[in-house]
């Protein structure tokens, strides 16, 4: 739906301010409903919640494309954002359950396929626009297609009930069960939220500002778009390689090296501005944050003293504030000083990850390769 958002603006006759509020309805729904994911997962199982949340998200998108008024479209966006947030938590919860059964890290590869899905969705939207399909027709096809995929996948998911503990060598490496105090749980969640939010802020820098920044350096429009491509492309590569790196070096060291890459790479690019250097800086930032969100989610799901799915739900819920806070923060700094100054949030995010990294697991995986 994202590439076709400007069509909502045109069809509803919205000005820039109203359009901004409409787009904000999606993350608003996610923040409203995000905390409900944990209780739903415990009651119905992560696979069922992920699959039926996917169906509900598709219906909400279809509702938005079929609605004829701003109020109805905004309501559909709120519902869609809510269902998307619940689906996101359930998908990760099930992915973590599969990872524990599998015996070695594989969550980063799932997130790499999420990136592939984002590209696929964009290509489908481009094809629909090229064919002149109206929003309702496009979203009907998407809803039916992905409902079929999700329901088929549901048949092969793990059962809702049953043991989810690690098996084999990973179980032997798990060590004694620890119990966290309430204060330690709060500190751990806060640190994990900061790590995930730092990753989101870097992603948003590529989404929202890379093209504008390279344009300010004199890059032609075609080349300016390469900043975003460099960041998401390097992020995809990092996620493909991430499971092997985590398996060998542990989450903490991988996150620390990524944080150094973010702070150093983008810091140098901003200190000595040039088009080639900026492209390398965005690529370094993308690779550096590739494994942060998966690492924070995995660690949140293992916080002792919390019910299954609670830590994952809370961290997933709070990190979405990064999507709301990051654009106006960079915009405010850019308006007061310069966009170059605003993008200092990227190396600052690397520093935040370094400071919070002790909350991540330092042990290497001893499961099968």
> Does the pLDDT of residue 250 top 70, yes or no?
yes
> Is residue 116 exposed (0-12), middle (13-18) or buried (19+ Cβ within 10 Å)?
exposed
Token reading at 38: 């944990």
pLDDT tens readout for residues 32-81: 888 888 889 889 999 999 999 999 999 999 999 999 899 999 999 999 99
Q: Identify the CA nearest to 352 among candidates 322, 327, 332, 323.
A: 322
Residue 344 has pLDDT above 50, yes or no: yes
Q: How confident is the model at residue 5 (pLDDT cuts 50, 70, 90)?
A: confident
Its pTM surpasses 0.85: no
Domain ranges of the chain: 2-157, 180-359
The alpha carbon torsion through 178, 47, 78, 297 (nearest 10 deg) reads 30
DSSP state letter for 47? H
**Where in 143-269 does DSSP place strands (E)?**
none
Nearest of 20, 77, 26, 121 to residue 129 by alpha carbon: 121
SS3 344: coil
pLDDT for 280 equals 94
Residues 101-142: pLDDT tens digits? Answer: 998 888 888 988 887 887 788 788 888 888 999 999 999 999
| Confidence at residue 27, expressed as pLDDT on a 0 to 100 scale | 83
Task: Specify whether domain 180-359 bears CATH 3.20.20.70.
Answer: no
């Amino acid at each position: 739906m994202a590439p076709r958002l400007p069509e909502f603006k045109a069809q509803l006759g919205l000005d820039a301010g109203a359009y901004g509020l409409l787009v904000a309805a999606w993350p608003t729904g996610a923040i409203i409903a995000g905390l409900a994911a944990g209780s739903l997962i415990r009651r119905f199982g992560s696979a069922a919640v992920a699959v039926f949340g996917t169906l509900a998200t598709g219906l909400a998108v279809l509702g938005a494309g079929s609605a004829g008024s701003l109020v109805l479209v905004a309501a559909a966006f709120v519902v869609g954002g809510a269902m998307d947030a619940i689906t996101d938590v359930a998908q990760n919860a099930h992915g973590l359950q599969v990872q524990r059964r599998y015996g070695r890290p594989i969550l980063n590869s799932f997130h790499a396929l999420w990136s592939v899905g984002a590209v696929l969705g964009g290509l489908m939207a481009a094809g629909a626009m090229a064919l002149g399909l109206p929003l309702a027709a496009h979203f009907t096809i998407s809803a039916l297609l992905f409902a079929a995929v999700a329901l088929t996948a549901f048949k092969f998911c793990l059962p809702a009930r049953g043991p989810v503990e690690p098996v084999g060598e990973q179980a032997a490496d798990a060590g004694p069960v620890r119990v966290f105090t309430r204060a330690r749980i709060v500190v751990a969640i806060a640190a994990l939220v900061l790590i995930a939010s730092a990753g989101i802020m870097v992603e948003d820098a590529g989404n929202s500002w890379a093209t504008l920044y390279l344009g300010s350096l004199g890059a032609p429009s075609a080349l300016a778009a390469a900043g975003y491509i460099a960041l998401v492309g390097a992020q995809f590569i990092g996620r493909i390689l991430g499971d092997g790196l985590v398996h060998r070096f542990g989450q903490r060291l991988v996150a620390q090296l990524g944080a150094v890459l973010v702070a150093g790479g983008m810091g140098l690019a901003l200190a000595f501005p040039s088009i080639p250097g900026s492209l390398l800086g965005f690529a370094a930032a993308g690779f550096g944050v590739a494994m942060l969100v998966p690492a924070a989610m995995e660690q949140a799901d293992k916080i002792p003293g919390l019910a299954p799915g609670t830590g994952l739900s809370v961290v997933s819920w709070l990190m979405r504030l990064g999507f709301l806070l990051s654009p106006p923060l960079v915009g405010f700094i850019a308006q007061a000083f310069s966009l170059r100054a605003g993008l200092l949030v990227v190396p600052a995010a690397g520093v935040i990850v370094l400071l919070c990294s002790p909350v991540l697991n330092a042990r290497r995986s001893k499961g099968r390769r």
